[in-house]
Amino acid sequence: MIPVKNRGLFYAVLSSLFLSTGFIFARHFLNYTNPETLNTLWFGIAFAVSIAVLLARSPGKTVRTFRLHWKDGIVVGGANAVAAAFWFHAINITGPTLTAFLVRFSTIFIIILGILFLKEKLHIHDIAGMLIALAGAFAISFANGDYLNVGTLVALAASLAIAVHQVLSKVYVKTIEPLTLVSLRTLFTALFLLVYALAFSKLQPFPISQLPLLTAAIVVNAIFGFVFFYKALELTDVSRVAIIRTLDPFIVVLYALALFHTLPALNEFVGGLLVVSGVLVTMYGHSITTMLRTVKWLPWFG
């Protein structure tokens, strides 16, 4: 039995393992269609599965919750639609591993959002962490002499939208049960993406033979992954969940090695390590500052 105080971290680890599969699944299915079509199918199927479970479990409560929180669903779903659009395009351009490293910037963007909108203070370790992470982004995009390529920009845009989505999710998960929030989010995400795909004539055929695998992938990633993620947010601080989620890129590297037999190039891996290191410096900065202040007064410190 897991102690109550550790359950949030346990769910965070599970969410990291399950959500990391999305990078791999997305790369596979993008061989068959474009990002817009896959996006719409991905969240449409996720909604169909989640609402079926909710209606089977408690139809009356589900209908009442949707009537009460549909506006919240529009907000979270809209933020997630933007994040998903950039995320799928980033994977299509740069691949799953590099995208996994670059979207770790979402943690830094969460801190920036706190500074801009919550009047939180900008500390020296925040600046140091951001500079280290930016150095990592430059190292990743250094290949072929391009200091900042389109794929990096798209992945960074995805990380900003993910940050907004995570902050909103932390607010709404206090009043909406995790699976219901997943269902609301996927409903409005799918609707927004469908409208966009139709408006710009982006929909393409998708092979029926791949639908069973796509459905299974969505259940693993978009259902279980986000239920565990929202459960973690419900039980522990968003900052602690973010720390665990820094594992995601390394899990993706292992998944890609096992399934695609690929590894990132040296500059890409070093850049990824710098991004994650910068994120950790930013998150642990207060602890680091306290440690340095303590060590300063020890006799052997010059």
How far is 272 from 278, CA to CA, in rounded Å?
Answer: 10
Report which residue type is found at 155.
A
The more confidently predicted of residues 36 and 167 is 36
Q: Which domain holds residue 251?
A: 4-296
* In the predicted structure, residue 32 carries a pLDDT above the cut 90: yes
Quick one: tokens of 301? 């410190």
233 touches 244 (CB < 8 A): no
Query: Could you tell me which of 167, 169, 28, 160 has the C-alpha nearest to residue 104?
Result: 160
* 267, part of any domain: yes
Once rounded to an integer, what is the mean pLDDT over residues 37-58?
Answer: 93
Confidence band for 260, pLDDT divided at 50, 70 and 90: confident
pLDDT grade for 164, boundaries at 50, 70 and 90: confident
Count the Cβ atoms, other than its own, within 10 Å of residue 237: 12
Q: What is the pLDDT of residues 108-135, one digit of tens each?
A: 887 787 777 766 677 787 788 888 888 8
**302 domain-assigned:** no
302 has a pLDDT exceeding 70: no
pTM comes to: 0.80
Using CA atoms, how far residue 38 sits from 80, 109, 233, in Å, is 15, 26, 27
Q: Residue 64: what pLDDT?
A: 92
Could you tell me if residue 54 is inside a domain?
Answer: yes
Q: Look at residue 40 in the predicted model and tell me its pLDDT.
A: 94
pLDDT at 67: 92
Based on the structure, what is the number of domains in the chain? 1
pLDDT for residue 61 is more than 50: yes
Q: Does residue 301 lie in a domain region? A: no
Neighbours of 71 (CB within 10 A): 10
In a domain, 29, yes or no: yes
Distance, CA of 12 to CA of 227 (rounded, Å): 10
Q: Does residue 222 lie within any of the structural domains? A: yes
Residue 148 has pLDDT above 70, yes or no: no
pLDDT at 137: 82
Q: What CA–CA distance (Å, rounded) separates 237 from 70?
A: 25
Instruction: Return mean pLDDT, the chain.
Output: 83
Paired tokens of 134 = 């930016």
Q: Is residue 10 part of a domain?
A: yes
- List Cβ neighbours of 97 (8 Å cut-off, separation of 6 or more): 23, 249, 252, 253, 256, 262, 264, 268, 272
211, 194, 212: which is closest to 203 by C-alpha? 194
Residue 161 lies in a domain: yes
Is there a contact between 165 and 107 (Cβ–Cβ < 8 Å)?
A: no
Residue 198 has a CB neighbour count (10 Å cut-off) of 12
Q: What is the pLDDT of residue 297?
A: 37
